[in-house]
Structure 1
Amino acid sequence: MDDIPLSALFSFLAVLIVLSGFFSGSETGLMTINRYRLAHRAQQGDRGSRLAHGLLQRPDRLIGLILLGNNLVNILAASTATVIGLRLFGEAGIAIASGVLTLVILLFGEVAPKTLAALYPERVALPASYVYWVLMRLLWPLVWLVNLIGNGLLRLLGVSPEDAAEHNLSSEELRSVVAEAGAMIPHRHQTMLLSVLDLQKSTVEDIMIPRNEIVGVDLDQGDAEINQQLTGSEHTRLPLYRGSIDELVGVIHVRNVLKLASAQEGPLRGEDLARTAVEPYFVLEGTPLNQQLLNFQNQKRRIGFVVDEYGDIQGLVTLADILEEIVGEFTSDPATRIRNVYRDTDGSYLIHGSVSVRSLNRSLGWKLPTAGPRTVNGLILESMETIPKPGDRLVLNTYDVEITETRGNAVRTARVRPAAA
């Protein structure tokens, strides 16, 4: 190499340093690029994204190719720098060349390109994928041999390189992705996505209408009472029962009742309603909401009766209740969102003891404890550890609660004053 001019050696060394920076930076860019955005762009037909996505399907092969190129370039750079050092400074030039080259490679071949790639991974990774696609085919036998040896060593440690292509996210990890999306996902959509993920944390008991609040038609009533109840009903589907909800007959739809009424003269009879009723659909308590949503879809149902392990009806859950867990309440006035909750002019709320604590928190933005009892009555009884009397007061998570009415051993109504009121 003594015949090669120093200018040519310096030029060759500069090219090698640039190539070292390319390999280092492109490795960081490809490994840090957003895989989901990359997959979306690849599906949209972007060629660079398709190439990068294909290379990342087997990262062990890609890393092998990058390291082959990077090590080859760095070894050539070290050899070239040594020759330059010897020709300029003699034997001392070896140490000088090693020190200078280490600093240059660190700055221009590692730190700067990797920092740039970490900040702008797509700008670095997508153009580099064209180069690696060509190199992978030119150097495939060598890459295959290197990976064969490397993967063999990994298998001895119980690591399978084929599993590296799997990037499954847990629900909690997906929550973090959605929560950190920021402005990329509108806040309303972000809230809905998080609500979908939260469905598995709640069960049908959390949102069901309690047994004592189920509105249905008692067939043991007279025909006049039945027709009056049907006329004034606010619901499109009503349970039919005889005497009590435990003697459930089925569920009727108001649309079918109207057809039946138009087809005959005179008031409807209980027997007529029973013939149009659909067989009741039962839901086992403890069923997660995400599973129940699928069950409603598979069974083509919109209403289900929640039963305990003994088969006793505990409440009623509807498809609309689950959808409200995702999209929020369908009404905008807080005072009308929850039945048996009444807001007074002083900012306090008169609340029936059967109201769900969870519904209060969701609709009014409160932070009452939800780890224990599900109703206001249960929460008060657990907190006081005694049977309350009208006029008794307590504080629940900074909410001032006053018992206003009791019935038997239960709280019928209570007045709650939020901390800010």
Structure 2
Amino acid sequence: MIESWGLVAPIAIIFVLLILSGFFSGSETALTAVSRARMLALEKDGNLAAARVNALTANGEKLIGAILLGNNLVNILASTLAATVFLHLFGELGVAYATAVMTVLVVIFSEVLPKTYALSNPDRVALTVSWPIRQVVRVFWPIVAGLQAIVRVILQALGARVSGPLFSPHDEIRGHIDLHHQEGGVVKDDRDMLGGVLDLRELTVDDIMVHRKNITMLDISTPAAELVTQALVSPHTRLPLYEGDAENIIGVLHARDLARALLEAGGDPGKIDVRGIARDPWFVPETTELLEQLNIFKEKREHFALVVDEYGALMGLITLEDILEEIVGEIEDEHDITVEGLKPEGDGIWQVDGSLPIRDLNRALDWSLPDEEAVTVAGLVIHEAQTIPETGQVFSFHGVRFEILERRRNQITRMRIARSPD
């Protein structure tokens, strides 16, 4: 009877240690899964627990080291006491019984149960455990620092990477957006919009510019009345003016300036001095980042720029609207995708213009065709085929089937695309 009562204390201590083990396991899971953005917002609102959570997660190596040290200490101590108790009760078989019983208890009550609850309520658990975990970190930090030094030496000797981020913050944000989209928390339009903001640092103006062959330009030598008529029937509000050679851009005609001049001329277009009302052209290098170009547009209060290459040759033009569309996307109605140059044929088959940008196609169809080596769909086919295809040829690249429908000289103008059955 006395011996039985003598086992109560160690058994009670074992259960207390199992509770502590569950506390450490749940705390580790909660503090690694907690939403740092939500904690930051709570801290700004004056939540002290959120401030403690942010301070703990700011040094993840220190935090995890202290929690693992505490968890292993209580687990080892609990296992040792259990072995002592079972040896006393069952003799030599006590070690086997202790191993089996402690394995079940540790897995259920110290690992699976607390971690499952912490994963379901990471923010709530993290806020609750922030104060005791901070005390644990303070107590164990000297030991953890020594252990970390030993671990770093071993990892460096093995040639393993022990410092430096693997992904940039932009990549992490993009990954979170894609993850929430897959889980249904972010709709496609929102994902595309947020991704478009991040892409502004990775794209240059030549990725989205209007190519020079698609630019509507006016010849300054054209009689004023005819030139004004051409400008008024054009759908564009800003039109480049050239003299002699189309490469020789001498100005930009703005529809508002033209309307004002026409009013002052009493409605007679022949009296308008087009050269006099034209604005000076603004040229930008094709290698300018989109984010930088957007900031320049804002600073100069301009909406229109001509793009040139390193030799000063005209490559195209870019507008403020082009950059904004990279963020908000093309305007769609409630039924059809209205991307210019993309027409559905049904059953997952589409007709596309060769000049359609790959980025617009990817955004419209939620595909992921690469755009590193080519800007347009035609450019992608030529790059992958390593030749200029003939009409009727069919290719399959990156899980998509391309059928060439029309070619003019060396340019692919129209093709049919669909997901490849292979």
Give the TM-score normalised by the residue count of structure 2: 0.74
Q: Give CA-to-partner distance per residue, 1:385-404, whole Å, 9 cap, x none.
A: 6797xxx543355455444x
Q: What is the letter of the counterpart of residue 221 of structure 2? A: D
Task: Confirm or deny: 8 A CA contact 2:374 2:383 kept in the other structure.
Answer: no
Structure 1 residues 164 and 23, CA, compared in 2 at 3 Å: closer, same or farther?
A: farther
**Number of the residue aligned with 2:19:** 18
- 1:71-150 alignment, distance < 5 Å: 71-74=72-75, 76-78=77-79, 80-81=81-82, 84-85=85-86, 88=89, 97=98, 100-101=101-102, 103-136=104-137, 140=138, 142-150=139-147
What secondary structure is seen at the aligned counterpart in 1 of 2:310?
Answer: coil
Whole-angstrom distance in 2 between the partners of 1:365 and 1:82: 63
Whole-angstrom distance in 1 between the partners of 2:99 and 2:235: 86
Whole-angstrom distance in 1 between the partners of 2:212 and 2:186: 40
**Number of the residue aligned with 1:338:** 340
- 5+ unaligned residues in a row in structure 1: which ranges? none
Whole-angstrom distance in 1 between the partners of 2:337 and 2:55: 55
**Number of the residue aligned with 2:249:** 248
Whole-angstrom distance in 2 between the partners of 1:412 and 1:92: 81
**Number of the residue aligned with 1:361:** 361
Moved more, 181-190 or 270-279: 270-279
Deviation, structure 1 residue 190: 1.0
Q: Give CA-to-partner distance per residue, 1:29-69, whole Å, 9 cap, x none.
A: 22233434443444454443332222111234323443454
Q: Give CA-to-partner distance per residue, 1:126-152, whole Å, 9 cap, x none.
A: 31113223555xxx3x43422442344
What secondary structure is seen at the aligned counterpart in 2 of 1:49?
Answer: helix
Structure with the greater alpha carbon radius of gyration: 1
Deviation, structure 1 residue 225: 1.5
Structure 1 residues 9 and 375, CA, compared in 2 at 3 Å: closer, same or farther?
A: closer
**Number of the residue aligned with 1:178:** 177
Q: What is the letter of the counterpart of residue 340 of structure 2? A: I
**Number of the residue aligned with 2:222:** 221
Whole-angstrom distance in 1 between the partners of 2:26 and 2:90: 33
Structure 1 residues 294 and 105, CA, compared in 2 at 3 Å: closer, same or farther?
A: same
Q: What is the letter of the counterpart of residue 210 of structure 1? A: H
Structure 1 residues 411 and 2, CA, compared in 2 at 3 Å: closer, same or farther?
A: closer
Q: May I ask how many residue pairs the two structures share in their alignment?
A: 403
**Number of the residue aligned with 1:328:** 329
**Number of the residue aligned with 1:394:** 393
What secondary structure is seen at the aligned counterpart in 1 of 2:236?
Answer: coil
Whole-angstrom distance in 2 between the partners of 1:374 and 1:227: 33
Aligned identity (percent) is 33
- 5+ unaligned residues in a row in structure 2: which ranges? 157-161
**Number of the residue aligned with 1:234:** 235
Structure 1 residues 383 and 24, CA, compared in 2 at 3 Å: closer, same or farther?
A: closer
Whole-angstrom distance in 2 between the partners of 1:82 and 1:295: 73
- 1:184-195 alignment, distance < 5 Å: 184-195=185-196
Whole-angstrom distance in 1 between the partners of 2:215 and 2:243: 14
Task: Confirm or deny: 8 A CA contact 1:206 1:374 kept in the other structure.
Answer: no
Task: Confirm or deny: 8 A CA contact 2:206 2:287 kept in the other structure.
Answer: yes
Structure 1 residues 314 and 80, CA, compared in 2 at 3 Å: closer, same or farther?
A: closer
Deviation, structure 1 residue 192: 1.6
Whole-angstrom distance in 1 between the partners of 2:153 and 2:173: 32
Q: What is the letter of the counterpart of residue 394 of structure 1? A: Q
**Number of the residue aligned with 1:279:** 280
Deviation, structure 1 residue 9: 3.8
- Supply the RMSD in Å over aligned alpha carbons: 4.6
What secondary structure is seen at the aligned counterpart in 1 of 2:284?
Answer: strand
Whole-angstrom distance in 2 between the partners of 1:63 and 1:274: 71
Whole-angstrom distance in 1 between the partners of 2:384 and 2:95: 81
Structure 1 residues 63 and 316, CA, compared in 2 at 3 Å: closer, same or farther?
A: closer
Q: What is the letter of the counterpart of residue 150 of structure 1? A: L
Deviation, structure 1 residue 377: 9.7
Task: Confirm or deny: 8 A CA contact 1:58 1:165 kept in the other structure.
Answer: no
Deviation, structure 1 residue 321: 1.8
Task: Confirm or deny: 8 A CA contact 2:29 2:118 kept in the other structure.
Answer: yes
Whole-angstrom distance in 2 between the partners of 1:154 and 1:377: 51
Whole-angstrom distance in 1 between the partners of 2:362 and 2:418: 17
**Number of the residue aligned with 1:307:** 308
Q: Give CA-to-partner distance per residue, 1:343-389, whole Å, 9 cap, x none.
A: 99xx9999887x4464883697598997558475996899796797x
Give the TM-score normalised by the residue count of structure 1: 0.74
**Number of the residue aligned with 2:197:** 196
Q: What is the letter of the counterpart of residue 361 of structure 2? A: N
Q: What is the letter of the counterpart of residue 145 of structure 1? A: P
Whole-angstrom distance in 2 between the partners of 1:336 and 1:17: 61
Deviation, structure 1 residue 313: 0.8
What secondary structure is seen at the aligned counterpart in 2 of 1:15?
Answer: helix
Q: What is the letter of the counterpart of residue 312 of structure 1? A: A
Q: Give CA-to-partner distance per residue, 1:218-237, whole Å, 9 cap, x none.
A: 22121211232333232222
Deviation, structure 1 residue 311: 0.9
Q: Give CA-to-partner distance per residue, 1:197-236, whole Å, 9 cap, x none.
A: 4455654334332323322332212121123233323222
Moved more, 3-12 or 209-218: 3-12
Q: Give CA-to-partner distance per residue, 1:87-131, whole Å, 9 cap, x none.
A: 645787677556644553344333443344345433433311132
